Homo-oligomer: A and B are copies of this chain.
Amino acid sequence: MTEPLFIIPLWADLLGVALGGIQGAMFASGFQGERRLDWLGVAIIGIMIGMGGGLIRDLLIGQPPATLQSDWYLITAVGAALFGMLLAGVFNRINILIVVLDAVVIGMFGAFGVSKAVAFGIPPIPAVFIGACAAVGGGVLRDVLMGLPVAIMHVGSLYAVAAGVGCTAIMIMHAFGVGITLAAVIGIVLTAIIRVLAVVYDLSLPEQRRLYRRKVATETGMIPIIKP
Distance of A35 Cα from B152 Cα, bound (Å) = 13
Flag whether A70 is at the interface (Cβ < 8 A).
Answer: yes
Q: How far is the CA of A123 from the CA of B39 in the complex (A)?
A: 24
Nearest CB of chain B from residue A127's CB, rounded to whole Å: 8
The answer to whether B40 and A129 have CB atoms under 8 Å apart is no
- A210 on the B face (CB < 8 A): yes
B160 A68 Cβ-Cβ under 8 A: no
Q: How many residues of A contact B (CB 8 A)?
A: 55
Q: Which of B39, B63, B150, B214 contacts A147 (CB 8 A)?
A: B150
Instruction: Answer whether A44 and B153 are a contact pair too, CB < 8 Å, given A36-B207, A38-B208, A210-B34.
Output: yes
Residue A198 lies at the interface, judged by CB distance under 8 Å to chain B: no
- Confirm or deny: A223 has a beta carbon within 8 angstroms of a beta carbon on chain B: no
Write out the residue numbers on chain B whose beta carbons fall within 8 Å of the beta carbon of A64. Answer: 61-63
- CB-CB under 8 A from A117, the residues of chain B are 68
Residue of A41, A58, A126 contacting most chain B CB atoms (<10 Å): A126
Q: Which residue of B lies closest to A127 (CB)?
A: B68
Verify if A225 is at the interface (C-beta below 8 Å from B): no
Cross-chain contact B206 with A70 (CB below 8 angstroms)? no
Contact status of A124 and B206, CB under 8 A, knowing A62-B65, A146-B150, A211-B34: no
Judge whether A182 is part of the interface by a CB distance below 8 angstroms: no
The contact string, 1 if C-beta is below 8 Å from chain B, for chain A 48-65, is 000000010011111111
Q: Report, nearest first, the 3 A-B pairs whose CB atoms are least far apart.
A: A62-B64, A38-B207, A68-B126
Query: Which A residues contact B (CB, under 8 angstroms)?
Result: 34-41, 44, 47, 55, 58-65, 67-71, 73-75, 117, 122-126, 129-130, 140, 144-147, 149-150, 152-154, 157, 160-161, 205-208, 210-211, 214
